[in-house]
Amino acid sequence: MEVTEIKYFVEAALLAAGRPLSIDQLQGLFKDRSKPDKSQIREAIKALQDDYEPRGIEVAEVASGFRMQVKTKMADRLERLWEERPPRYSRALFETLALIAYRQPMTRGEIEEVRGVAVSTNIMRSLLEREWIRVVGHRDVPGRPAMFGTTRLFLDYFGLKKLEDLPPLADLSDWESLRVQLNLPEVEYEVNEALPASGDADRELGDEVVGDIGDELDDDTDGGPQRTAVIMPLPVAPREARPDSATAAVDAAGAAEAPEASSPSEDDDNADTGDTSASNG
């Protein structure tokens, strides 16, 4: 089978699937007698990528395979096409997710120490239900709190092939830099008084949230400001980092060596309110 024919078939498969497809999955779509080698499929994908170079869509490789996605420069003008109500995520949810992504594995208590506010049970349940995080083990300390890490679906959603592709971040509290680099919409800030973190958060979460993620989620915030993320028919590639991204107080390199907390800044305290009732529930 010629590369051109393989290329057209792969293009059709990626459009029809609406999700990433691996080389093995693409190869499995061919009949046995006409099944191309994996090298031929890769050659066809490379040809597709070259074809799409000057166009508004592209073939990108993420953790689960290859997918068709809208180029970033086209996204802003295309958003009006998507009439479906987008899900709402709080800044607190994405800050929690960022901490897990950059410092994993982390327990809920360790996240609260860094953020300086209680992490609501709904936030953890929301991340688990969306399969962006999973329980990767339990810390060998009294209470054996659950440790969380990111998943392949997390990488796919943010257009990453592996964790090493996460944008370098001078500071994990540098929300604006992270928002730009991962192509997240802007956040409207509200000033709220932070509540102290709960020391029993890990035990309160435990395996109950993991086993209870089928519960209906009416709210995934912990009192913080809201932002909107759009789920699109074709994903959008992450934006490049802005050269003038903000910098702040927590050093990510030092944080990666140990999960010890840094003192939260006033901005962190004002970012959202700890939902102690959710943590206790």
Residue 83 resides in a domain:
no
| Tally of domains in the chain | 2
Last residue of a domain, one of 16, 51, 76: 76
What pLDDT is attached to residue 33?
A: 75
What pLDDT is attached to residue 128?
A: 94
What pLDDT is attached to residue 91?
A: 82
DSSP state of 192: -
Domain that holds residue 55: 3-76
Are residues 206 and 98 both part of a single domain? yes
Dihedral angle over CA of 22, 28, 34, 40, nearest 10: 10
Residue 177 resides in a domain:
yes
Last residue of a domain, one of 44, 76, 108: 76
Are residues 102 and 222 both part of a single domain? yes
What pLDDT is attached to residue 281?
A: 39
Q: Which residue has the tokens 């929301």?
A: 126
Residue 275 resides in a domain:
yes
Cis status, amide bond into 105, omega within 30 of 0:
yes
Per-residue pLDDT 10s for the chain (281 aa) are: 788 899 999 999 999 998 899 999 999 998 877 789 899 999 999 999 999 999 999 999 999 999 999 888 887 788 777 766 656 678 888 889 988 999 999 999 999 998 888 999 999 999 999 999 999 999 999 999 999 999 999 998 888 888 888 877 665 556 666 666 666 655 544 333 343 334 444 444 444 454 443 333 333 434 333 333 333 345 555 554 333 332 232 333 333 333 443 333 344 443 343 343 333 43
Last residue of a domain, one of 20, 45, 76: 76
Q: Secondary structure of the chain: what % helix, strand, coil (to 5)? A: 45, 10, 45
Residue 121 resides in a domain:
yes
Hey, how many other C-beta atoms are within 10 angstroms of the C-beta on 211? 8
What pLDDT is attached to residue 184?
A: 60
What pLDDT is attached to residue 234?
A: 53
Are residues 44 and 129 both part of a single domain? no
Are residues 65 and 118 both part of a single domain? no
What pLDDT is attached to residue 41?
A: 93
Residue 163's CATH number: 1.10.10.10
Hey, how many other C-beta atoms are within 10 angstroms of the C-beta on 208? 14
